[in-house]
Amino acid sequence: MNGLKGQFGQTNYSAAKAGMIGFSKALAYEGARSGVTVNVIAPGYTGTPMVEKMNPEVLESITSQIPMKRLASPEEIAASVSFLVSDAGAYITGETLSVNGGLHMN
């Protein structure tokens, strides 16, 4: 998400993510004629071992700001990838799919 909205104290990280998004759009143009699709998944807070080690009060503060009131599961992030690489996603290219429970809406 930081590549789409930025975050205080995370200038370098946000810039790197935004660069990846721009790179993917240019690559999508180049690959389109050959039938190659290029997309980005911008995941929100996800229930991974790293996130689950956060201070419980901080994690609760973050979760309370997510409109869906929970973290994503790794399986939900994987499902969005599966969709984009499936036949159902074959005509989608150059997009950034935000999977964040509504925390940041484009």
Is residue 28 within 8 A of residue 39, CB to CB? The reply is: yes
45 has catalytic annotation: no
Q: Which CATH architecture has domain 2-99?
A: 3-Layer(aba) Sandwich (3.40)
> Measuring CA to CA, which residue among 28, 30, 46, 43 is closest to residue 89?
28
Looking at 13, 29, 45, 91, which residue is catalytic?
13
Q: Where along the chain do its domains lie?
A: 2-99
Q: Which of 21, 40, 31 has its CA nearest to residue 80? A: 40
Q: What is the pLDDT of residue 12?
A: 82
SS3 of 50-105 = HHHCCCHHHHHHHHHHCCCCCCECHHHHHHHHHHHHCHHHCCCCCCEEEECCCCCC
- Distance CA(5)–CA(95), nearest Å, equals 16
Q: How confident is the model at residue 4 (pLDDT cuts 50, 70, 90)?
A: low
Q: What average pLDDT does range 33-54 have in this prediction? A: 95
The pTM assigned to this predicted structure is 0.84
